[in-house]
A and B are shown apart, each in its own frame.
Chain A
């Protein structure tokens, strides 16, 4: 029994390290925070973590299939810009398209609760579609993922800029309030469980909604995918594509599924970011920063960039570690000018410590994988 646990820990040493690192850092953070261990702090942190956690999950799936997706930040930005048109609530939004000097009316997107729900579905579908296009270009175009997604990323950013040349738009205020606060606020806003006052509900009312969403997405989307044939094929493609092909696994479908799922997760991140900021913003540097941070999260979360090993759950913890580090800057009063330097040094330090294993390698040939 103990042996079994020891083996499992050794097999998942990356994830275990990320979880431990996060737990220690987050405890320290709460101890040092004047209002530590309170729902307010948790809610604020949840809002700050969610988008990056989703992008880290998004990046994980293609990385597992040993392909990098450089378009996750762009997909996030594009979906956010769509959301700023589709989630306005109340009376709905008149949509029109101005292109090549033409003015095309596209009717009115419905408002109200049903309109918002429809808008969410459309936004997530757009994210998944963007990922599906990436997958098709990689599989049928046979272009290296890193360069194909570099190019599609430019296209998606272009679409985002077309939608929102300047930051703007509006998101339904109730939606913003309900999703970026605690479960109690959520229940009160959507009028369930006696407006959140039900006795049984009280013990869990403090939990921040973003964390609940994160867990739901991980349990309802990632875990079933991981256990499906396609999910296993993704891992197989990442560890040995030739062997996966010879074993008759659906490698083409696995790759397309990996990129589609990445687009879906990135879409979730973009949707939340738009809801949180109540606007759409085609911010190119921000998209780039999210893409790069998603790669860093994946590595910190114990997924090999070579593919085949790791998990999206680990990447969530990787993203949380990255974010908690920046929380510390607020607490310990580190001069804002020094923050980027510390962020860089910590990222570099983390990957170097992870790389110290090479010192134990006796046969140099094992280094060249």
Chain B
């Protein structure tokens, strides 16, 4: 039976396979814990919600990253945008903390967008430079030590507390997801994003202001990273050096595992969502198994390669 006969489009197949793989991880992890400890923590809602709460930060970063990958660019400035937003938010404090944190993301996104769209510097290298500058600014600002300032109550409430038993961070993630889905599926901007990812010259000739759209995508990515930073600072009650380092590669991996083409123009947000859940669950199963860091890295890499071999293969160049 081919995928076409199942009524699946090219974009649905990765999502379905990734979802199946999540089930495999859950079953394998449960079999392991049952055999070893006689319990099944992976199936308890409390544990799953807790894992998803941690996953929300990655999910928000990945949502922004997806906007940028869809237009065939990449944003390597995420780690220090995230950290800078968190550090600025905690050091300003008070009611302005969150707006200032998000403002950092907005400004970084704007600079990235202008550099990539108007100066035509490859995003790979421009955002790398911006990341280095942000790191430099933060090192100079904090003196290289962990900042002593603490997150505001609102930040802690958004990231750490629960409403009706569900972590607030999940609501924020859900809100971001709804916004991104609406942008991608219901607005002209979303159409432009896919058009640019497929062929920027064609989109330009069709009358799209491709440079403005590029800037908007980078701004959204910067905002998402900043939001994740603000929340992460709230969750751990403070900002710290290198807090964003663990989010760059997993966010790219989540987007790609979800079926978004790294060359842009193709992919659905649902896939990114599934990709994030897959990575989060994989991480938690590996930590239940007490896997040393070496094994984690190897398995992590092999899973990405395996998933892409199943459905992420490109087409052969023949003309």
Give A contacts to B, CB under 8 Å: 68, 137, 141-144, 146-148, 150-162, 165, 241-242, 245-246, 251, 282, 285, 292, 295-296, 299, 305-306, 336-345, 347-348, 351-352, 354-356, 358, 364-365, 367-368
> When the two chains form their complex, are residues A296 and B128 in contact, meaning their CB atoms are under 8 A apart?
yes
> When the two chains form their complex, are residues A142 and B314 in contact, meaning their CB atoms are under 8 A apart?
yes
From A143, A337, A342, A355, contact of B305 by CB (8 A): A143
**What residues of chain B lie closer than 8 Å to A364, measured between beta carbons?**
204
In the complex, what distance in Å separates the CA atom of A282 from the CA atom of B296? 14
**What residues of chain A lie closer than 8 Å to B304, measured between beta carbons?**
147, 150-151, 154
Give B contacts to A, CB under 8 Å: 74, 76, 115, 118-122, 124-126, 128-137, 139-140, 143-144, 199-201, 204-205, 210, 242, 245, 249, 252-253, 256, 262-263, 292-302, 304-305, 308-309, 312-319
**What residues of chain B lie closer than 8 Å to A347, measured between beta carbons?**
128-129, 132
Given contacts A150-B253, A151-B305, contact A344 B129 (CB under 8 A): yes
> When the two chains form their complex, are residues B140 and A337 in contact, meaning their CB atoms are under 8 A apart?
yes
Instruction: For residue A85, give the distance in angstroms from its CB to the closest CB of chain B.
Output: 15
> When the two chains form their complex, are residues A154 and B297 in contact, meaning their CB atoms are under 8 A apart?
yes
Assuming A245-B317, A344-B129, A351-B126, what are 8 further A-B pairs, CB within 8 angstroms? Answer: A143-B314, A158-B297, A159-B298, A162-B292, A165-B292, A285-B242, A341-B136, A344-B133
Given contacts A150-B249, A154-B301, A367-B120, contact A344 B135 (CB under 8 A): yes
**What residues of chain B lie closer than 8 Å to A147, measured between beta carbons?**
252-253, 256, 262, 304, 308, 312
From B135, B263, B319, contact of A246 by CB (8 A): B319
**What residues of chain A lie closer than 8 Å to B135, measured between beta carbons?**
340, 344
In the complex, what distance in Å separates the CA atom of A348 from the CA atom of B126? 7
**What residues of chain A lie closer than 8 Å to B299, measured between beta carbons?**
158
Instruction: For residue A351, give the distance in angstroms from its CB to the closest CB of chain B.
Output: 5
**What residues of chain B lie closer than 8 Å to A351, measured between beta carbons?**
121, 125-126, 129
In the complex, the chain B residue whose C-beta lies closest to that of A336 is B144
Instruction: For residue B243, give the distance in angstroms from its CB to the closest CB of chain A.
Output: 13
In the complex, what distance in Å separates the CA atom of A148 from the CA atom of B252? 12
In the complex, what distance in Å separates the CA atom of A338 from the CA atom of B24? 49
> When the two chains form their complex, are residues B297 and A295 in contact, meaning their CB atoms are under 8 A apart?
no
In the complex, what distance in Å separates the CA atom of A232 from the CA atom of B85? 46
The 5 closest A-B pairs by CB, nearest first: A341-B136, A344-B132, A158-B297, A154-B301, A158-B298
**What residues of chain B lie closer than 8 Å to A157, measured between beta carbons?**
297
In the complex, what distance in Å separates the CA atom of A163 from the CA atom of B121? 39
In the complex, the chain B residue whose C-beta lies closest to that of A337 is B140
Instruction: For residue B228, give the distance in angstroms from its CB to the closest CB of chain A.
Output: 19
Instruction: For residue A82, give the distance in angstroms from its CB to the closest CB of chain B.
Output: 14
Instruction: For residue A364, give the distance in angstroms from its CB to the closest CB of chain B.
Output: 7
> When the two chains form their complex, are residues B294 and A295 in contact, meaning their CB atoms are under 8 A apart?
no
Given contacts A150-B304, A154-B301, contact A295 B119 (CB under 8 A): no
In the complex, the chain A residue whose C-beta lies closest to that of B141 is A337
Instruction: For residue A243, give the distance in angstroms from its CB to the closest CB of chain B.
Output: 9
> When the two chains form their complex, are residues B312 and A143 in contact, meaning their CB atoms are under 8 A apart?
yes
Can you pick out 19 interface pairs between chain A and chain B where the beta carbons lie within 8 Å of each other?
A143-B312, A146-B74, A147-B252, A151-B300, A154-B249, A157-B297, A161-B292, A162-B298, A242-B318, A282-B294, A285-B245, A337-B144, A344-B132, A347-B129, A348-B126, A351-B121, A352-B119, A355-B120, A355-B121
> When the two chains form their complex, are residues B121 and A340 in contact, meaning their CB atoms are under 8 A apart?
no
Given contacts A144-B262, A364-B204, contact A305 B312 (CB under 8 A): no
**What residues of chain B lie closer than 8 Å to A305, measured between beta carbons?**
122, 124-125
> When the two chains form their complex, are residues A143 and B129 in contact, meaning their CB atoms are under 8 A apart?
no
Instruction: For residue A289, give the distance in angstroms from its CB to the closest CB of chain B.
Output: 10
> When the two chains form their complex, are residues B126 and A154 in contact, meaning their CB atoms are under 8 A apart?
no
**What residues of chain B lie closer than 8 Å to A352, measured between beta carbons?**
115, 119, 121
> When the two chains form their complex, are residues B317 and A365 in contact, meaning their CB atoms are under 8 A apart?
no
> When the two chains form their complex, are residues B125 and A144 in contact, meaning their CB atoms are under 8 A apart?
no
In the complex, what distance in Å separates the CA atom of A342 from the CA atom of B133? 8
**What residues of chain A lie closer than 8 Å to B122, measured between beta carbons?**
299, 305-306
Instruction: For residue A346, give the distance in angstroms from its CB to the closest CB of chain B.
Output: 9
> When the two chains form their complex, are residues A241 and B132 in contact, meaning their CB atoms are under 8 A apart?
no
From A142, A295, A358, contact of B125 by CB (8 A): A295
> When the two chains form their complex, are residues A341 and B140 in contact, meaning their CB atoms are under 8 A apart?
yes
Instruction: For residue B53, give the distance in angstroms from its CB to the closest CB of chain A.
Output: 25
> When the two chains form their complex, are residues A159 and B294 in contact, meaning their CB atoms are under 8 A apart?
yes
In the complex, what distance in Å separates the CA atom of A296 from the CA atom of B118? 20
Residue from A153, A156, A367 whose CB has the most chain B CB atoms within 10 Å: A367
> When the two chains form their complex, are residues B129 and A338 in contact, meaning their CB atoms are under 8 A apart?
no
In the complex, what distance in Å separates the CA atom of A355 from the CA atom of B125? 12
In the complex, what distance in Å separates the CA atom of A185 from the CA atom of B263? 51
**What residues of chain B lie closer than 8 Å to A151, measured between beta carbons?**
253, 300-302, 304-305, 308
Given contacts A143-B305, A165-B292, A295-B125, contact A341 B262 (CB under 8 A): no
> When the two chains form their complex, are residues B305 and A148 in contact, meaning their CB atoms are under 8 A apart?
yes
> When the two chains form their complex, are residues A141 and B136 in contact, meaning their CB atoms are under 8 A apart?
no
From B76, B118, B132, contact of A343 by CB (8 A): B132
In the complex, what distance in Å separates the CA atom of A287 from the CA atom of B308? 24
**What residues of chain B lie closer than 8 Å to A153, measured between beta carbons?**
301
Given contacts A147-B262, A355-B121, contact A158 B294 (CB under 8 A): yes
In the complex, what distance in Å separates the CA atom of A132 from the CA atom of B252? 24
In the complex, what distance in Å separates the CA atom of A152 from the CA atom of B298? 8
Instruction: For residue B248, give the distance in angstroms from its CB to the closest CB of chain A.
Output: 9
In the complex, what distance in Å separates the CA atom of A285 from the CA atom of B246? 11
Instruction: For residue B101, give the distance in angstroms from its CB to the closest CB of chain A.
Output: 20
> When the two chains form their complex, are residues B319 and A144 in contact, meaning their CB atoms are under 8 A apart?
no
In the complex, what distance in Å separates the CA atom of A159 from the CA atom of B293? 10
**What residues of chain B lie closer than 8 Å to A338, measured between beta carbons?**
136, 140
In the complex, what distance in Å separates the CA atom of A151 from the CA atom of B279? 13
> When the two chains form their complex, are residues A368 and B200 in contact, meaning their CB atoms are under 8 A apart?
yes
